């Protein structure tokens, strides 16, 4: 009898712990946080897909979900080469496109914007933690703007959107925008050798 009581108590404790862990886990995955009235913060490490922001009483490094903007230098030479191959342009052209992406983001984020995050850590160059984010400017997705202007490619980490849309469907939409940018030869695609060969 005593053995059964002890076993029942152990089962109840385990069930309680599993329930608590489940609730914490669910909260962390459901927990999109929306920060409004955010501002762009100048920093030497800013680029087209990663930059500092100030939202309320928080200032932190933000990294866009779903997209990868060209690098502005050769610090990460392998990534710059990979981007160069993707766009069909030279390393120099890739870095110039990276500078344009950085400038465009700074321009777009001069006015207040909305940022959504799960506070998921994005591996970064420095010691400070960066967080993956979605950003809206005047109701438009910053990731979509960059891709449609040929200033970023569809790549990187994604997540189910705050609307509930699955990431694979959103990636399909972004990929369609990237194809349009490629056809229109805008941004990094404007000097693409691969495109020139296809159209000849």
What is the enclosing helix (H) or strand (E) of 14? helix 2-30
Could you give the C-alpha distances from 195 to 86, 116, 179, 185, 186, in angstroms and in order?
11, 35, 11, 8, 11
Is the dihedral angle over the CA atoms 56, 33, 178, 125 positive or is it negative? positive
HEC secondary structure over 51-86: EEEEECCEEEEEEECCEECCCCCCCCHHHHHHHHHH
**For the chain, which residues make up each domain, given as ranges?**
1-30, 32-199
Report the predicted TM-score, pTM, of the whole model to 2 decimal places: 0.81
CA-nearest of 116, 103, 113 to 46 is 103
The tens-digit pLDDT sequence of the chain (200 residues) is 555 555 555 544 344 333 433 333 333 445 999 999 999 999 999 999 999 999 999 999 999 999 999 999 999 999 999 999 999 999 999 999 999 999 999 999 999 999 999 999 997 666 788 999 999 999 999 999 999 999 999 998 999 999 999 999 999 999 999 999 999 999 999 999 854 444 44
**Residue range 32-199, CATH number:** 2.40.50.90
Task: Note the pLDDT of residue 125.
Answer: 61
Q: Count CB-CB contacts under 10 A for residue 48.
A: 26
At residue 124, the pLDDT reads 63
pLDDT score at 61:
96
The two beta strands, 58-64 and 130-137, are parallel
């Amino acid at each position: 009898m005593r053995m059964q009581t002890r076993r029942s108590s152990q089962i109840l404790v385990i069930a309680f712990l599993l329930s608590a862990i489940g609730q914490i886990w669910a909260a962390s995955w459901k927990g999109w946080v929306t920060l409004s009235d955010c501002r762009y913060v100048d920093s030497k490490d800013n680029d087209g897909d990663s930059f500092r922001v100030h939202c309320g009483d928080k200032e932190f490094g933000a990294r866009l979900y779903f997209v990868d903007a060209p690098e502005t230098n050769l610090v990460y030479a392998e990534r710059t080469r990979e981007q160069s191959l993707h766009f069909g342009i030279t390393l120099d052209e890739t870095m110039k496109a990276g500078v344009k992406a950085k400038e465009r983001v700074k321009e777009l984020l001069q006015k207040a914007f909305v940022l959504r995050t799960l506070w998921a850590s994005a591996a970064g160059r420095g010691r400070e933690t960066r967080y993956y984010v979605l950003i809206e400017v005047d109701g438009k997705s910053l990731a979509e703007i960059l891709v449609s202007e040929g200033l970023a490619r569809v790549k990187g980490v994604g997540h189910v959107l705050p609307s509930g849309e699955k990431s694979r469907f959103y990636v399909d939409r972004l990929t369609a925008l990237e194809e349009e940018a490629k056809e229109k030869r805008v941004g990094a695609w404007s000097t693409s050798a691969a495109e020139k060969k296809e159209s000849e």
